[in-house]
């Protein structure tokens, strides 16, 4: 293979790598398809020569729905448990009104539905349905800000705000307020996490950043291996 041919092939491979890294595929013409086939062959040959062929593995992607679901957190809105607490605090002082969902008055489940609606997450209206949404948290010790605590009987719901405190709409004659949590684990039917906790969201971002760095490194390794293989074949020609 002549030096010109090697340089031409290198240019093709670089173009192919740029296409893969940008997440776009160009298959509009037979010439492009032929170029892709040549480049793929070069990559395969390079991997075989360097013994770096591996089987890709993947993990289940998190739910991306903005609707609260059963057994999964809603990640599509980008909201976290801290956002739930911050939004709920906007309603402090709103009077309790049975069936209410506005600043003129709201009940406990109306408050919960309204807060999540503000954040772009669809939640059912009544406590028994809300108690089925999201993922279950094992105990109060594991609760994070933004989690919902539903007592046995499912007649009430409160929002955990952290530091042993909850925010809720108590009952007629009272308004939305933050108080010390009075529930014990033995009093609780379920604790539900509807959106990721701030801690979980931060961990997910860190994992994604690490994966992106690793992918970039792998692409560079593939490019180097392919170029070396072509240069070696050109020297032997």
Active site residues: 108, 156, 168
Question: Helix 198-236 vs helix 30-50: angle between axes, to the nearest 10 degrees?
Answer: 90
Q: What is the DSSP string of the chain?
A: --HHHHHHHHHHHHHHHHHHHTT----SSHHHHHHHHHHHHHHHHHHHHHT--------PPPP--SB--BSS---TT---HHHHHHHHGGGTTPBB-TT-EETTEE-HHHHHHHHHHHTT-B--SSHHHHTTSBEE---GGG--TT-EEEETTS---EEEEETTEEEE--STT-BSEEEE----GGGEEEEEE-S--HHHHHHHHHHHHHHHHHHHHHHHHHHHHHHHHHHHHHHH-
CA 104 to chain centre: 34
Cβ neighbours, 10 Å, residue 81: 26
Token pair listed for 10: 């290198």
């Amino acid at each position: 293979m002549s030096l010109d041919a090697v340089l031409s092939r290198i240019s093709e491979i670089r173009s192919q790598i740029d296409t893969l890294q940008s997440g776009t595929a160009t298959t509009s013409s037979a010439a492009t398809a032929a170029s892709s086939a040549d480049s793929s062959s070069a990559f395969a040959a390079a991997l075989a020569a360097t013994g770096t062929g591996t089987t890709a593995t993947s993990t289940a992607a998190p739910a991306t729905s903005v609707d609260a679901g059963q057994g999964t957190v809603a990640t599509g809105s980008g909201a976290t448990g801290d956002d739930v607490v911050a939004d709920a605090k906007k309603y402090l002082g709103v009077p309790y009104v049975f069936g209410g969902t506005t600043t003129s008055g709201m009940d406990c489940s109306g408050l919960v539905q309204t807060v999540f609606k503000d954040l772009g997450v669809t939640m059912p209206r009544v406590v028994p349905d809300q108690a089925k949404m999201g993922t279950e948290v094992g105990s109060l010790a594991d609760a994070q800000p933004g989690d919902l605590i539903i007592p046995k009987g499912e007649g009430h719901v409160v929002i955990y705000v952290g530091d042993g405190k909850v925010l809720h709409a108590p009952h007629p004659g009272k308004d939305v307020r933050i108080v010390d949590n009075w529930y014990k684990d033995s009093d609780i039917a379920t604790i539900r996490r509807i959106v990721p906790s701030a801690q979980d969201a931060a961990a997910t971002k860190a994992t994604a950043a690490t994966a992106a760095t690793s992918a970039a490194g792998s692409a560079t390794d593939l490019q180097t291996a392919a170029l070396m293989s072509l240069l070696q074949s050109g020297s032997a020609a």
